Amino acid sequence: MARLSDVIEAFIKDMLESSKEPKLQIGRNELASHFSCAPSQINYVLTTRFTIDKGYYIESKRGGGGCIIIKRVACNSNKNLLNIIIEKIGNNITYNSAIQIIDGLFEADIITERECNILKTVTNDRTFNESVEDKNRLRAYILKSAIFVIFNEID
């Protein structure tokens, strides 16, 4: 059985795909009511599943009941997206954060499933030698290097 977070994510993505607009405006409280959950559960899904590195931009509007606007990032230039991702990686990155970026690239059809699996393997802690002291720094270097190669082939 799917977790509630997965169900909410799928529901929002279906709404985005079926929308004729490049953005989706939803009421957080209404969505929480629909799924019989706390509004904080909706916030959790939005902040973890709809991030800029996964190709989404979230705006919150307060007042009058409030609403959330979800936009699919439409980068006019792959260099813009590349800069966003490289900035997100920084000088070190955890494996879980790397996975989010890698999955976002796959969902955005920038990398294939095979490339996705390769990137996950080469950034995994088990891939690094036990003597590597700063795995997160090495992981960031490897991930940035691979992403530069991927984006150079796109342009």
pLDDT, tens only, 128-140: 877 677 899 999 9
Single out the residue in 34, 52, 72 at which a domain terminates. 72
Residues 64 and 107 in one domain: no
Q: Please list, in sequence order, all residues whose beta carbon lies within 8 angstroms of the beta carbon of residue 11, skipping any fewer than 6 positions away.
A: 35
Closest CA to 67 of 23, 26, 13, 32: 26
Residues 62 and 101 in one domain: no
Single out the residue in 41, 72, 103 at which a domain terminates. 72
Residues 150 and 82 in one domain: yes
Closest CA to 49 of 75, 14, 12, 93: 12
Residues 58 and 115 in one domain: no
Residues 65 and 47 in one domain: yes
Instruction: Report whether 78 contacts 108 (CB < 8 A).
Output: no
Residues 122 and 93 in one domain: yes
Average pLDDT over residues 145-153: 82
Which of 88 and 119 is assigned the larger pLDDT? 119
**3-state class of 67 per DSSP?**
strand
Single out the residue in 72, 87, 108 at which a domain terminates. 72
pLDDT, tens only, 16-61: 888 877 788 888 889 999 999 988 898 889 888 887 667 777 877 7
Buried b / exposed e across 129-147, counting CB within 10 Å, b at 16+? eeeeeebbebbbebbbebb
Residues 85 and 49 in one domain: no
Other C-beta atoms lying within 10 Å of the C-beta of residue 82: 20
Q: What range does the domain containing 62 cover?
A: 4-72
Residues 87 and 30 in one domain: no
* CATH number of the domain encompassing residue 22: 3.30.56.130
Count how many domains the chain has: 2
Residues 57 and 108 in one domain: no
pTM, entire model? 0.57
Spatial separation of the C-alpha atoms in residues 131 and 142, rounded to whole Å: 17
How confident is the prediction for the chain on average, in pLDDT? 84
Spatial separation of the C-alpha atoms in residues 103 and 54, rounded to whole Å: 7
Residues 88 and 140 in one domain: yes
